[in-house]
Amino acid sequence: MTLILASTSKTRSALLAAAGVVHETADPGFDEVPLRTELQRKGESPAAIARALARAKALALSSLRPGQLIIGADQILTWNGELFAKPYSLADAERQLRTLRGCRHVLISAAVLVRDGQILAEPCAEAQLTMRNFSDAFLTAYLRAEGDALLGCVGCYHLEGLGAQLFSAIDGDYFTVLGLPLIALLASLRELGMLQI
């Protein structure tokens, strides 16, 4: 059986590969904006939204790949009751980072395992991150150094790189910050016989 990550995220794929999980990647071809908007309108919790989006991506790809085990994944950033999406521009990223500066926010990462339209597991984890009160000069230099790479991540940072300098404290699992509840996901894969016990 082939394991397929329903994501084009290089970081998620690299996390799985580094953990020894042989997999393929595929774009699920799913527009998450309408579903996210609807779930927010209904007042769903951030964790429920992350799971629903991960589930929708996995199910979309599962319909095209019968018999295969699909991993769907999503990450939600929440602060002060507000959900953040990936920025559309560097100006948007700057606004978001100014909002989060000096504050604590939560990242929720969800993964869903699906085969033939059946949900087999839905691990989810969260991390709390506190941004330091960085200077405007640092923010300008950071945006210049990172550039358009920031547009691919909900928090406008890559913790495994220069983004680590944005923080004064992180409580929670490193992998969760990078976009996968990896430890729980590995446990689920072992339970399904996809990894050695």
pLDDT for the residue numbered 177: 95
Cα-only R_g, the chain? 17
Q: What percent of the chain has pLDDT over 90?
A: 93
Are 26 and 9 in contact by the 8 Å Cβ rule? The answer is: no
pLDDT in tens, 23-53: 999 999 889 999 999 999 999 999 999 999 9
Phi then psi for residue 30, to 5 deg, are -120, 125
**Mean pLDDT value across residues 83-102:** 96
State the chain's mean pLDDT as an integer: 95
pLDDT at residue 197 greater than cutoff 90: no
Position 122 scores a pLDDT of: 97
Q: Is the pLDDT at 2 greater than 90, yes or no? A: no
pLDDT tens digits, one per residue of 111-125 = 999 999 999 999 999
Residue 1 above 80 pLDDT? Answer: no
pLDDT at 60: 95
- What count of other Cβ atoms lies within 10 Å of the Cβ of residue 189? 24
Topology annotation, domain 3-191? Maf protein (3.90.950)
Distance in angstroms (rounded) separating the CA atoms of residues 130 and 147: 22
Residue 74 among the catalytic residues: yes
Backbone φ and ψ for 174, nearest 5 degrees, come out as -55, -45
The answer to whether 142 touches 162, Cβ cutoff 8 Å, is yes
Both structure tokens of 114 = 């699906």
> What digits encode the pLDDT tens for the residues 148-195?
999 989 999 999 999 999 999 999 999 999 999 999 999 999 999 999
Domain boundaries, the chain: 3-191
Percentage of the chain modeled with pLDDT above 70:
100
The residue from 74, 116, 136, 173 that is catalytic is 74
